[in-house]
Amino acid sequence: MFIEAKESGNPIPKPKKIFLQAKPEERDRLRRRAGEIFPDLEIASEPGDQYFLSSHPGAPELSALEQKFSEPARNLSPEIRDQAYLLNAENDRISIFAGGAPGLYYGLLSLAELFQKNGGALEYFDHPIFSRRGFLQDLSRGQVLTPAGFERLAEALSAFRYNWLTFNLEHNFGYERHPEIPGSDDQLLKSEAKALFELCKEHYVEVVPMQQSFGHLRGILSRQKYRHLAFDEKLLWSLDPRKDEIYSLLAELYQEQAECFPGKYFLVGLDEPFDLKKYWKPELAGGQEFPEIYLEHLRKLNRMITGLGRRLMVWGDIFVAHPELLPEVPEDVVIINWQYGTSNQEDENFYLGRSKAIAESGREFYPATATWSYARLFPELKTMESNNRNFLKVGARLGAKGALLTNWGDLGHLQLLGGIALPIAFFAVNSWRPREISLPEFGKDFALNFFNDRSGKSAELYLLLDRLNQVVSPGKFFGGSALFVLLDELFSLQYLPARSGSEPSLSDQLVKIVKETEILTSGLGNLKNSEWLLDLKPMIYALGILFSKILIQENASLIFQQPSKREEVLILFGHLSNYFQQFALALRDRWLVQAKPRGLERNLARLVKVVEGYQKRLNFLKEGKAQTWEQFRDAEEFSEYRFNLIKEMGLEGLL
C-alpha cells in the first residue's frame, strides 16, 4: 500500500533484533510500537551489523544515511520533515533514519510491509503530502463507540498513518456541568475521553475535540432546559445568535472537552444552519443579513477557542456559498471544506471550483472527503474512490496542509467499522502519497496489508458488496436507496429504480450477488483483523432481505391470476421473516462488541416496525381481505409503514 515493493526471489533477510535510537522522551513509546509491529524481534540495547533505526541525528553509524536523508528533506516543512524517513535495506543491513519519532514509526511500518511482500533490497525516501491526515467518527446519529471499539479504530488509523481523530458531537458527550444534555442517551464519558486521548497519543494520533455550535443541535435544543436557546422552538435545529446565553453555554462545553483532549485545535462545526439560512430576516437584528450574523458568531467563538490556547477549525460550506466573507475570517482559523461529490463521480474541476476561493484567501484549509457509507447499507466504493482520489489531488495542488475523511452515521449509523475498512485504507494512501491505481488493484494490496490475505478474496468481498449500490439505484436519493428499500413498506416501490424491459430483473441481479458472496465468504479462512470482516455479516443477511422482498414484489400480483402461486409467495414471506431475524441478531452481536446499546435499540425498534408491516401484509393475504391485486397493493392501512426519508432524517421544514 505505502511502498511499491514487489516480491523478490531474493528477499531481504529479517533480522532477529532491532535497535532504536531516539530522543529520551520518545524512546519508550517507539519501543512499544516496534514491539507491536515486530512481536518476534528483540529490541536490542546496542546497534548491530544488521540493523540500526534512528530519529536522533549525530550517530556515527548513520552519518552517511543521515546525509542522504538531509538532501531531499531540506525543503520540507518542519511538520512534514518530522514524519519523513529514509529506509535502506541493502547489503544485508537494514537502516532507517527519520526526521522525528513519527517518521521512524512510519519507517517501521514500511519495513513491516517490505517483509510482508517479501521485497528485495531497496533504498526508499518517503514523506506525506499532507502533514495532518484525519478521520471523523460520527457519535451523534446512533453509534457511540465503546472503549473497545475506539481501540480497534485507533489501532487501524495509526497503522494506516492517520495522525488525528475527531468526531461529530452534537449532544453525546458526558458533560458533567450539563448532564441534561446527553441525558440517558449513549455518550462518550469524560473518563473514556481521557483514556481515548492517552490511547491515541500512544499511537501517534492526536484527538481534536468537537462540539457542534450553531446548527445540528436538536439533541441539545430538544431538552426542556435549553429549548429557549433555539432560533426556532418548533424546528429546534440552530442556536439563536441573538441570545448571549448560548455563548456562556458553549464556553462551558468547550472547557470540559478541552480538559479531556489537550492539543492545538478545536472543531466547532457551524455547518448547515438550515433554519437560519431559510428563515432569517434582517429586521431580526438591526438590518444584518444572515452572512453577517454568521461571521459575527464565528468571531465570537474564535475568541473563546483562542482563549483556550487552541486554533478554531470550522466547516467550509458557508464560505463556498458566501466567498465574500473569507477576507473577514480571522487568519488563524482552519477551514475544513467538505465536498463529497455525487454518484456521478465528478472530476477534479468540480472540486477545484468549490475550493479555489478558500485556498486563495490565505486561510489554512483542509479538503474533507467521505467514506460514502452514510445512510447506506454498504459504502458506494466507486463514488468513494472518485471523491477521495480527485479531491485530495485538488487539495494538494492548492497547498492544503491537512485532509480529513468523514464517516457520517445518518439514519441510525447501521454501518459498522468493518464496512468502512477499505475507504479508511484508500484515503490513507491517497492522503499520504496519491497513487494512480485501480480500485481492484488497490484492493489486492489492502487485503495483503490489513488482512494478510494473499488471495485478495477479502477485498473482492468488499467490491462484490458494492455491486448492491449499482443494482439498486446509487445516489438517486440522499443516501443509498438499498437501505430505504429495506426500511420501506413492502409494495410502496417509491425508492426502486425504473427498469427497462431488456434488463435482468432486480431479483436475478441480487441472487447473483448472494451466490457469489456465499462462495467468497466460504473461502476466506482465518485472517488477521478478522473482526473487521465479521462486521460484514449483517450486510450479507440484508442482501437476503432485499432479494426476498423484491422477489415478493415481482410475484405477488400473480396470486390473483394463478392461485397456485399463493403458496410460493407465502414461502417467500417466511424467507423474508427469517432473513430479518438473522439480520437483527447479527447486527446486535457485531454492534455490541464495538458500540453502546441505546443506538442499537433505536435501530431494532425501526426494524420491528418494518417487520410489523410485513406481518400485516401476510395476514391480509391469508384472510382474503383483497379480491384483486390492486386492492391488495393499494390498501390504505399500510400507508403508515411507508418510509419517509425527510422525516426520518429529521429535516422536515428545514430544506
Lowest mean pLDDT among 202-211, 300-309, 613-622: 613-622
Residue 398 and residue 501 in one domain: no
d(CA 170, CA 211): 6
Q: Given the C-alpha cell 457469489, which residue does it identify?
A: 516
Those residues whose C-beta lies under 8 Å from the C-beta of residue 185, and which sit 6 or more positions away, are: 171, 172, 219, 598
Check residue 476 and give its pLDDT: 61
Q: Is 331 a domain residue?
A: yes
Q: Which contacts qualify for 422-426: CB closer than 8 Å, 24 or more apart? A: 422/379, 422/381, 422/446, 422/459, 422/462, 423/371, 423/372, 423/373, 423/379, 423/381, 423/384, 423/388, 424/135, 424/156, 424/157, 424/160, 424/371, 425/1, 425/160, 425/449, 425/450, 426/384, 426/385, 426/388
Per-residue model confidence as pLDDT tens digits over 85-121: 999 888 677 888 999 999 999 999 999 999 999 888 8
Residue 85 and residue 157 in one domain: no
Check residue 119 and give its pLDDT: 87
For the chain, what is the domain count?
A: 3
Residue 118 and residue 203 in one domain: no
Residue 205 and residue 256 in one domain: yes
Percent of the chain with pLDDT over 90: 78
Q: Is 11 a domain residue?
A: no
Beta bridge partners of 96: 53, 87
Q: Is 55 a domain residue?
A: yes
d(CA 226, CA 249): 10
User: Are residues 407 and 137 in contact, defined by beta-carbon separation less than 8 angstroms?
Assistant: yes
Domain end marker among 100, 126, 152? 126
Give residue 88's domain range. Answer: 17-126
Categorize the per-residue pLDDT at 48 as very low, low, confident or very high, splitting at 50, 70 and 90: low
Residue 114 and residue 199 in one domain: no
For residues 521-536, average pLDDT: 93
d(CA 184, CA 147): 18
Q: Is 529 a domain residue?
A: yes
User: Are residues 506 and 450 in contact, defined by beta-carbon separation less than 8 angstroms?
Assistant: no
Check residue 381 and give its pLDDT: 96
Check residue 4 and give its pLDDT: 81
Check residue 477 and give its pLDDT: 62
Instruction: Give Cα 648 to chain centroid, integer Å.
Output: 21
Q: Is 12 a domain residue?
A: no
Q: Which of 281, 357, 292, 353 is nearest to 328 (CA)?
A: 292
Residue 56 has pLDDT above 70, yes or no: no
Categorize the per-residue pLDDT at 413 as very low, low, confident or very high, splitting at 50, 70 and 90: very high
Beta bridge partners of 421: none
Per-residue model confidence as pLDDT tens digits over 260-277: 999 999 999 999 999 999
Residue bearing the bigger pLDDT, 17 or 298: 298
Residue 303 and residue 279 in one domain: yes
Domain end marker among 380, 404, 436? 436
204, three cell numbers: 501517534
For residues 524-553, average pLDDT: 94
CATH number at residue 60: 3.30.379.10
Residue 62 has pLDDT above 80, yes or no: no
Q: Is 10 a domain residue?
A: no
Alpha-carbon dihedral of residues 555, 556, 561, 567, nearest 10 degrees?
Answer: 90
For residues 557-564, average pLDDT: 85
Grouping H, G, I as helix, E, B as strand and the rest as coil, residue 242 is coil
Check residue 55 and give its pLDDT: 65
Q: Give, in degrees to the nearest 5, the angle at Cα 536 between 471 and 524.
A: 100
Residue 170 and residue 45 in one domain: no
Residue 324 and residue 351 in one domain: yes
Residue 121 and residue 143 in one domain: no
Those residues whose C-beta lies under 8 Å from the C-beta of residue 477, and which sit 6 or more positions away, are: 484, 495, 645
Categorize the per-residue pLDDT at 562 as very low, low, confident or very high, splitting at 50, 70 and 90: confident
Residue 426 and residue 509 in one domain: no
Residue 605 has pLDDT above 60, yes or no: yes
Per-residue model confidence as pLDDT tens digits over 338-389: 999 998 899 999 999 999 999 999 999 999 999 999 999 999 999 999 999 9
Q: Given the C-alpha cell 475544513, which residue does it identify?
A: 336
Residue 174 and residue 269 in one domain: yes
The residue type at 75: N
Check residue 16 and give its pLDDT: 84
Q: Is 103 a domain residue?
A: yes
